[in-house]
A and B are shown apart, each in its own frame.
Chain A
Amino acid sequence: MALEKEIATYNAKLAELKQHEGKYVLIQGEAVIDLFASYDDALKEGYKQFGLTPFLVKQIHAVEPIYYFTRPITPVRKTA
């Protein structure tokens, strides 16, 4: 799946990242690049540093939020 390595890095670093809950972390591969106050700023830096190479922007949560849909839609993941 896409971003598999970056998600693994996020999960591995979550204990340290939790102190920055609410901020946005930029991760590429196994590297935590930086923390940002906004999604826009993290994306901007991601595209600036990595261009079209995949990177992850994720808001830090101690407990992962769940998004609800009342319609029976099917979530999709892209293969890497």
Chain B
Amino acid sequence: MPHFTLTLDAPGPVVNAVVAVSDGRRQALEAAQQPVPTQQIVRALIDTGASHTSIDPTVLAALNLTPTGTIEIVTPSTGTGTHTADTYDVDFKIYASAEDTPLAISNLRVSACELFLKQGIHALIGRDILSRCVFIYTGSTNSFTVCF
């Protein structure tokens, strides 16, 4: 089973991720003779408190994406009611180093939420991705492991 172990960062379990346009959108761009935006390399925090993966709108804007859905979300900042967030389909890869086999997910539905750019976090990896992995948080060695 491919896996990687990394040291816990100040914000917590942070991994490198690559966000790119989905295959369907790439084909549509090529058919329209429009350039395919360059994939974005981001820092993503694994967040067991997030039911869904979310990406900062600055990253989605760099990919020139158009929303293909919406979801209703609740956060501490939205109070007791729900708020609507746009969702986008992206190709998403998580890796520890270029030599490692990445965890690659095609057509991942992510929501657009403003995150903590000042902390260097561009994405929250939620339980939708964790449902495909084994995630081991080893506080005693200040490390975490992702198996997939």
Contacts and interface: CB of A to CB of B under 8 A. Distances in A.
Contact of A69 (B32, B84, B113): B113
Interface stretch (B1-9, B46-54, B93-101, B132-140): B46-54
A52 B114 contact: no
Contact of B24 (A44, A58, A74, A75): A44
Interface residues of A, number: 32
A60 interface: no
Contacts of A52: 25, 28-29, 32, 34, 66
Interface string A30-69: 0000000001100110111001101111100000111111
B70 interface: yes
B18 to A, nearest CB: 19
Q: Shortest 4 CB-CB distances between A and B: which pairs?
A: A70-B49, A75-B85, A47-B24, A72-B77
Interface of B: 22, 24-25, 27-29, 31-32, 34, 47, 49-52, 54, 57, 66-78, 82-86, 89, 106-107, 109, 111-116, 124, 126
Interface of A: 2-3, 7, 39-40, 43-44, 46-48, 51-52, 54-58, 64-78
20 contacts: A3-B67, A3-B70, A3-B86, A43-B22, A43-B24, A47-B25, A47-B28, A51-B32, A52-B25, A55-B68, A65-B71, A66-B82, A67-B51, A69-B47, A73-B54, A73-B77, A75-B84, A76-B57, A76-B114, A78-B57
